[in-house]
Amino acid sequence: MPPKLPYTHTVVEGDTLPDLSEKIYGDSSYYVQVAAYNNLNKFRNLKTGTTLVFPPLAELT
What the chain holds in terms of domains, given with CATH numbers, is 7-59 (3.10.350.10)
Rounded to the nearest 5 degrees, what angle is found at the Cα of 12, between the Cα atoms of 10 and 8? 20
Q: What is the pLDDT of residue 14?
A: 96
pLDDT of residue 2: 66
pLDDT of residue 21: 97
Question: What integer pLDDT is reported at residue 4 of this predicted model?
Answer: 85
pLDDT per position as a tens digit, 2-61: 678 999 999 999 999 999 999 999 999 999 999 999 999 888 889 999 999 999 999 987
Q: In angstroms, how far is CA 28 from the centroid of its own chain?
A: 9
The burial class, CB within 10 Å (0-12 / 13-18 / 19+), for 31 is buried
CA count, 13 A, side-chain hemisphere, 21:
16
Using an 8 Å Cβ cutoff, are 17 and 25 in contact?
no
Task: Answer yes or no: pTM beyond 0.85.
Answer: yes
